[in-house]
Amino acid sequence: MRRRTFLKAAATSAAAGAASTVFAVPNVIVAQRTLQWQMATSWPVALDTLYGGAQQFAERVAALTGGRFQITPNPAGKLAPGTGVVDVVAQGAVPIGHAPAYYAIGKVPATAIATGLPFGMTLRQTNAWFYEGGGLDLMNEVYAKRLGIIAFLAGNSGAQMGGWFRREVNTLRDLQGLKMRIAGLGGEIMKRLGVTVQTLPPNEIFQALQTGAVDAVEWVGPYDDERLGFYKVAKFYYYPGWWEPSASLEIQVNLREWRRLPRDFQQAIRSAAMEINMSIPARYDARNAAALQKLQQEGVQLRQFPKEIMDEAQKVAREIFNDFAARDADFKRVYESWSKFKTETDSWFGLNEFAISGYLYGKS
Amino acid sequence: MRRRTFLKAAATSAAAGAASTVFAVPNVIVAQRTLQWQMATSWPVALDTLYGGAQQFAERVAALTGGRFQITPNPAGKLAPGTGVVDVVAQGAVPIGHAPAYYAIGKVPATAIATGLPFGMTLRQTNAWFYEGGGLDLMNEVYAKRLGIIAFLAGNSGAQMGGWFRREVNTLRDLQGLKMRIAGLGGEIMKRLGVTVQTLPPNEIFQALQTGAVDAVEWVGPYDDERLGFYKVAKFYYYPGWWEPSASLEIQVNLREWRRLPRDFQQAIRSAAMEINMSIPARYDARNAAALQKLQQEGVQLRQFPKEIMDEAQKVAREIFNDFAARDADFKRVYESWSKFKTETDSWFGLNEFAISGYLYGKS
């Protein structure tokens, strides 16, 4: 009965003048209407791994629906500022977005967990928690209640680098008064370690580092960093980026719009998101590897953050998480699920994957 | 023009008696016919992570095509023996399969690279090579030419464990005369290290270990191993499984059948495969972590393979790869692409991901 009604509705909405007899197909429910959506993204076109991911998503949705569902990605600043994508999707001003969730941290602290906490989980742990540890369902409960959106994992940077420093940092004391461009919770932690934290938009970072207005900047990893040219004005490239052991991106859909979609369109969004959740990291992994080689040829000096700094930063990070948990029940609930999963998988990954990785990468 | 012809063809194939006027939809190309395929898999139903992956694949294809394309997975032994999936798909006896490629190693040695070489690449490197390093296109050239199939990555176990030993192996000497159930190239390497290698079907492995007919067995990882109960009869659980740092599975489609598919059905296969290439490892990662905890509670003793054994095994592995390359031009071509990518990405993963992983897992 429902199928018949649906086909009838499709026929009714057909272009005037076309014969309205519906082509009979047994056991088939396919939306016959077409739909066009604009998509807001957090990416400038120049971040081609990410913007390219948004394009791949849109192409897949179109291909999967035989061209019936057309989504057009727009770069940051067009439909919304890069940091405002979640907002416009939540408001319903734009039906769909591609962005990290944590720009909504002011409204919903748990979005920080969705994107990835400092000293959190690596990419594989993160995906396992979201898909198999109940993480995605838990987050979507919070999103539905507090933002009116539904989200699907849709990309990850992998572990980010620790950024570019004009001088070495060997002790906690070296951080005192250091001027650094660093965003998000990483910035909050650095602040508590004595760093003078600045947030600068992408197009101002290079110049600030060049003129010495800042002593250090963090961005993403070798591929994106090389294109911004930081290696020309700062010699020391630090690792690991402990504030982003992985950073998840999402396809976010306004919940009212979502509920109106035919099932096969919903499924196309779901599958295309999962596809770029696979392909964006693959692209970063391949390109970062090649870019690292180039940077080393340019004379970049790699430096590992001293354990003293890592340990203190982790201590401060946990204090921040506990503050959030005390203030926000949703954060607490998601953080508990996340922490339990992290502990369990840390043991497993720390055993087998770590042993074979170490051997293969020539570290043991 | 092409669209019109296609719709006409669809209308012609419609059930007799149905009105043949096609419902006019602008800019839409959707196959209106339905199609049912049987799928062969290498999995017994009991390997639920893998068999569940095949089911998820089939469900996704159905959902993406509004129920028009129905694929039915069959367990190992039904349409083909577990090791014969590639064969029946290549012959065209079955249109589609879910299996590792390396069961065709006798015909096409390069399939060993497709599934994963001993001392090869970890999961993220592997995916990056296939999707972004040209690996998948290269393999599909070889498959088209030599097997008449097209393949899509569709799952991975991650790094496997080194298996269950009734007594410890501390030196190369301890391997002499050891009777071990181990399959594939891992078995070939073990043989050259002095091990008496046996291949046993899954249902005979437990008993062989219990009775002492073999001294050691390897299977997959904590989750699958726990269910076969090896921990009850062998105390030492070795890691890492250097013969499978990752093991890729594929959706394999007969090339003639593939070319006959409407584009949106092709895209549904492509996307659903990519989806389980994400979800199967996530499932393994989550379940292995939980199973490892249980096994440790059962008193299992974890042991790391000594470096002496790893080094010698890696030396032997490289000899085997060079033999293949000398005998088979396709192996050589694929191996060169793979080796170059591995070297480049070993450096990158060995730097940043390894540093943050080590810290997070409490190893540094």
Q: Predicted ipTM?
A: 0.91
Residue count of chain A, please give it.
Answer: 364
Q: What's the DSSP call for residue A173?
A: G
Residues in Cβ contact with A167 at an 8 Å cutoff, skipping those fewer than 6 apart? A174, A215, A236
Whether cis (ω within 30° of 0) applies to the bond prior to B44 is no
Q: How far apart are CA A339 and CA A343, in angstroms?
A: 6
Distances in Å between the Cα of A350 and the Cα atoms of A121, B20, B364 are: 12, 62, 11
Of A15, A33, A64, which has the smallest distance from its Cβ to B64's Cβ?
A: A64
Query: Could you write out the DSSP letters of every residue in B88-128?
Result: HHHHTSSSEEEE-GGGGTTT-TTHHHHH--TT---HHHHHH
The answer, yes or no, to whether residue B7 has pLDDT greater than 60, is: no
- The distance of B130 to chain A (nearest Cα, Å) reads 9
| Chain B residues touching residue A351 (CB < 8 angstroms) | 239, 292, 302
Q: How far apart are CA B208 and CA B212, in angstroms?
A: 6
A263/B222 Cβ within 8 A:
no
Distances in Å between the Cα of A18 and the Cα atoms of A35, A288, A329, B8, B26 are: 19, 53, 55, 15, 11
- The distance of B175 to chain A (nearest Cα, Å) reads 20
Mean pLDDT of B143-170: 98
Q: Which of A249, A248, A275 lies closest to A62 in space, CA to CA?
A: A275
pLDDT band at B88 (very low <50, low <70, confident <90, very high): very high
Q: Which domains does chain A have, with CATH numbers?
A: 34-156+246-285 (3.40.190.170)
- The distance of A272 to chain B (nearest Cα, Å) reads 7
Q: What pLDDT, on a 0 to 100 scale, did the predictor assign at position B11?
A: 33
Query: Sheet holding B35-41: strands in order across?
Result: B69-74, B35-41, B96-99, B248-254, B149-156
Among A32-36, B3-7, B86-90, the range scoring the smallest mean pLDDT is: B3-7
| Chain A residues touching residue B18 (CB < 8 angstroms) | 23-24
- The distance of B351 to chain A (nearest Cα, Å) reads 8
A344/B362 Cβ within 8 A:
no
- The distance of B35 to chain A (nearest Cα, Å) reads 11
Please identify which residue in the block is written with the tokens 């001293």.
A306
Residue B30 main-chain phi, psi, to 5 deg: -130, 130
pLDDT digits (tens, 9 = 90+) for B228-274: 999 999 999 999 999 999 999 999 999 999 999 999 999 999 999 99
Residue of A nearest to B16 (CA): A24
Mean per-residue pLDDT of chain B: 91
Q: What pLDDT, on a 0 to 100 scale, did the predictor assign at position A68?
A: 95
Residue of A nearest to B12 (CA): A23
Q: How far apart are CA A52 and CA A286, in angstroms?
A: 15
- Pick the residue of A3, A125, A132, A304 with the most B CBs within 10 A to test the interface with B by mutation: A132
| Chain A residues touching residue B120 (CB < 8 angstroms) | 360
Mean pLDDT by 10 residues, chain A (364 residues): 35 32 41 88 95 98 95 97 96 98 96 98 98 98 98 98 97 98 95 95 91 96 96 97 98 98 95 97 97 96 98 98 98 98 97 97 90
A348/B292 Cβ within 8 A:
yes
Q: What pLDDT, on a 0 to 100 scale, did the predictor assign at position A30?
A: 59
Q: Is A74 helix (H, G, I), strand (E, B) or coil?
A: strand
Residues in Cβ contact with B260 at an 8 Å cutoff, skipping those fewer than 6 apart? none
Residues in Cβ contact with B7 at an 8 Å cutoff, skipping those fewer than 6 apart? B22, B32
Q: What pLDDT, on a 0 to 100 scale, did the predictor assign at position A33?
A: 81
Determine what percent of chain B is predicted with pLDDT higher than 70: 91
Distances in Å between the Cα of B2 and the Cα atoms of A66, A216, B28, B266 are: 14, 57, 12, 17
Q: How far apart are CA B56 and CA B249, in angstroms?
A: 14
Q: What pLDDT, on a 0 to 100 scale, did the predictor assign at position A45?
A: 94
The answer, yes or no, to whether residue B287 has pLDDT greater than 60, is: yes
Instruction: Give the count of Cβ contacts less than 8 A between chain A and B.
Output: 312
The answer, yes or no, to whether residue B357 has pLDDT greater than 50, is: yes
